[in-house]
Amino acid sequence: MNTGRIEAALLKANDTADVGIGSGLLPSVNEMFERSFGGQRAVVVADENTFGVAGDEVRRHLEAAGRPMVDPYVFPGRPTLHAEYAHIERLTQALHAHDAIPIAVGSGSLNDIVKRASYEARRRFMSVATAASMDGYTAFGAAITKDGYKHTMTCPAPRAALADLDILRNAPARMTSSGYADLLGKVPAGADWLVADALDVEKVNAPVWSLVQGPLREAIGSPAELHAGDDHALDSLIEGLIMSGLAMQAAESSRPASGAEHQFSHLWEMEGLGYNDEPPLSHGFKVGVGSIAIAALYERMLSRDLSNLDVQTLVSRWPSWEQVELAVKEAHKTPGLDTAAIVESRTKYITGDELRQRLTRLAERWPGLHKRLREQLMTADQLRRMLHDAGCPTHPSDIGLHLEDLKATYYRARMIRRRYTVLDLATEAGILDQCVNELFAPGGFWAPD
Ligand SMILES: [Zn+2]
């Protein structure tokens, strides 16, 4: 772990005050707990798998140090735990029976369950990672399934987070691969932020930008080594993931870590892609395929000169809100998502006059933006190779999607989030259709085999 980098990030983070990354850290879990929670009681929360991997050891270290403890709360290990609201209700109820501070020992879903349940029980918590599988450990908010629909629920990040490489190293390989793909997504996500910045939609916050983008190239630079079990690569990965969470805290937004590639993954997630697989299709694997797809779109965009668009014609063809609303209703029928997509699309809808201003700004700024995007992005081929080397799926068919589903996602994904991305730029510039058709035409990036 780069201590200076983490310390600098902690100064900016709102919720998390203490992060430990390294080998052999688990035995010092009590000291870390003490720094944040003094002499308070602790309760380990895990599932049967993660309890065996690290939860029981955490409990023993705390007990050996004389820490007052409540009996561990352990979810079943099979089938794989999902972040369903019913689990949160049960855990919250159990937490109300005492005043102990929860220690979440697990990865994505377990961490999200404890994060939200702790919030509902009006308590802070500590996180002990068992896999470098996603960037949510130090992020605020939790992705929870309620009434069959995936919600992002409010709740603060943990007060303290511990990641022992000796534990992470032994996690299933697919979990490390998933974390790699989630982190790789920060490449196109950064590009989307540059687009939003150039068009004065959402300015880049330079200190927050550097928290994510600073260590990123190194952290994603050794996919084959990571997949082969290299410790340095694993250390860089978990640090990158934790930095990403801290950056979201500092920005009070997921913008630093999430762009159109995450809109792809959220859409597939909300429609239940791979939800009932055992193990379920991971967040990171969807982000990985989304990242390749967005990088491929950027390539089509960057091959064009967007400084000489026919603004007058584009404005005259710009749809009214009523037309957009119909299109959103046509594109999204999933209960919950259907109404949410209308709200999100309405929030970022602009009028014809606003479109004129935006495209005029684009014309002025395209040369500079083009240059910044070229520096930020990698080609879709590069991303595909890196993901492959890290053991990740790279083709939609690897994650259970047909090419036509992927093609439709280029149009549908932007409707579900208000965040401005390359999908909005392509739509406003009137070139989304052309670019997508090029990608799926013979010889294009997504040409059928
Ligand atoms: Zn993510």
Is the pLDDT assigned to residue 189 strictly greater than 90? yes
What tens digit of pLDDT does each residue of 241-269 get?
999 999 999 999 999 999 999 999 999 99
Of 442, 189, 217, 448, nearest to 298 by C-alpha is 189
Task: Give the distance (Å) from ligand 1 centre to CA of residue 245.
Answer: 10
Task: Give the distance (Å) from ligand 1 centre to CA of residue 59.
Answer: 30
Q: What is the mean pLDDT of residues 182-209?
A: 98
Q: Which residues, including other chains, have CB under 8 Å from residue 211's CB and lie 6 or more apart?
A: 8, 9, 12, 243, 244, 246, 247, 250, 256
What DSSP letter does each residue of 92-160 carry, written as one string? HHHHHT--PEEEEEESHHHHHHHHHHHHHTT---EEEES----S-TT-SSEEEEETTEEEEE--PPPSE
Q: Token match 């240059």: residue?
A: 371
Is the pLDDT assigned to residue 449 strictly greater than 90? no
Is the pLDDT assigned to residue 148 strictly greater than 80? no
Task: Give the distance (Å) from ligand 1 centre to CA of residue 182.
Answer: 5
Among residues of the chain, what percentage have pLDDT more than 90?
96
Is the pLDDT assigned to residue 392 strictly greater than 90? yes
Whole-number average pLDDT of the chain: 96
Is the pLDDT assigned to residue 2 strictly greater than 90? no
Residue 324, pLDDT score: 98
User: Please, where are the H alpha helices in 161-304?
Assistant: 165-168, 173-184, 186-198, 206-219, 223-227, 231-251, 260-270, 283-302
* Separation CA 445–CA 118 (nearest Å): 45
Q: What is the mean pLDDT of residues 197-215?
A: 97
Please name each of the domains of the chain with its CATH number: 3-171 (3.40.50.1970), 175-223+254-440 (1.20.1090.10)
Task: Give the distance (Å) from ligand 1 centre to CA of residue 265.
Answer: 8
Is the pLDDT assigned to residue 210 strictly greater than 80? yes
What tens digit of pLDDT does each residue of 11-67 get?
999 999 999 999 999 999 999 999 999 999 999 999 999 999 999 999 999 999 999
Is the pLDDT assigned to residue 81 strictly greater than 80? yes
Task: Give the distance (Å) from ligand 1 centre to CA of residue 262.
Answer: 6
Q: What is the mean pLDDT of residues 194-214?
A: 97
Task: Give the distance (Å) from ligand 1 centre to CA of residue 36.
Answer: 27
Q: Give the 3-state secondary structure of residue 294.
A: helix
8 A C-beta contact, residue 48 and residue 75: yes
* Separation CA 198–CA 207 (nearest Å): 17
8 A C-beta contact, residue 134 and residue 107: yes
* Separation CA 361–CA 38 (nearest Å): 54
Residue 1, pLDDT score: 74
* β pairing state of 18-22 and 160-164: parallel
User: Residue 336's pLDDT band (boundaries 50, 70, 90)?
Assistant: confident
Task: Give the distance (Å) from ligand 1 centre to CA of residue 407.
Answer: 21
Task: Give the distance (Å) from ligand 1 centre to CA of residue 260.
Answer: 11
Task: Give the distance (Å) from ligand 1 centre to CA of residue 134.
Answer: 6
Q: How far is CA 348 from the centre of its chain?
A: 21
Task: Give the distance (Å) from ligand 1 centre to CA of residue 270.
Answer: 14
Is the pLDDT assigned to residue 149 strictly greater than 80? no
What tens digit of pLDDT does each residue of 150-188 get?
888 999 999 999 999 999 999 999 999 999 999 999 999
What tens digit of pLDDT does each residue of 280-297 get?
999 999 999 999 999 999
Amino acid at position 350, single letter: I
- What strands, in cross-sheet order, belong to the sheet with 18-22? 18-22, 160-164, 126-129, 101-106, 42-47, 73-75
Is the pLDDT assigned to residue 146 strictly greater than 90? no
Task: Give the distance (Å) from ligand 1 centre to CA of residue 135.
Answer: 6
Is the pLDDT assigned to residue 312 strictly greater than 80? yes
The C-alpha torsion from 246 through 182 and 240 to 172, rounded to 10°, is 120
8 A C-beta contact, residue 104 and residue 158: yes
Task: Give the distance (Å) from ligand 1 centre to CA of residue 280.
Answer: 16
Task: Give the distance (Å) from ligand 1 centre to CA of residue 111.
Answer: 14
Task: Give the distance (Å) from ligand 1 centre to CA of residue 327.
Answer: 27
* Separation CA 192–CA 356 (nearest Å): 20
* Residue 289 exposure: Cα atoms within 13 Å on the Cβ side: 29
Of 381, 403, 393, nearest to 449 by C-alpha is 403
* Separation CA 107–CA 131 (nearest Å): 6
Task: Give the distance (Å) from ligand 1 centre to CA of residue 112.
Answer: 13
Task: Give the distance (Å) from ligand 1 centre to CA of residue 232.
Answer: 22
Is the pLDDT assigned to residue 123 strictly greater than 90? yes
Task: Give the distance (Å) from ligand 1 centre to CA of residue 181.
Answer: 9
Task: Give the distance (Å) from ligand 1 centre to CA of residue 241.
Answer: 9
Task: Give the distance (Å) from ligand 1 centre to CA of residue 433.
Answer: 27
Task: Give the distance (Å) from ligand 1 centre to CA of residue 141.
Answer: 12
Task: Give the distance (Å) from ligand 1 centre to CA of residue 213.
Answer: 15
Task: Give the distance (Å) from ligand 1 centre to CA of residue 267.
Answer: 13
Residue 13, pLDDT score: 93
Residue 150, pLDDT score: 80
Task: Give the distance (Å) from ligand 1 centre to CA of residue 335.
Answer: 23
8 A C-beta contact, residue 19 and residue 6: yes
Q: What is the mean pLDDT of residues 75-79?
A: 94
Task: Give the distance (Å) from ligand 1 centre to CA of residue 92.
Answer: 25
Greater pLDDT, 104 or 147: 104
Cα-Cα end-to-end distance for the chain: 43
Residue 152, pLDDT score: 86
Task: Give the distance (Å) from ligand 1 centre to CA of residue 259.
Answer: 10
Among residues of the chain, what percentage have pLDDT more than 70?
100
Task: Give the distance (Å) from ligand 1 centre to CA of residue 363.
Answer: 32
Task: Give the distance (Å) from ligand 1 centre to CA of residue 179.
Answer: 8
Q: What is the mean pLDDT of residues 390-396?
A: 98
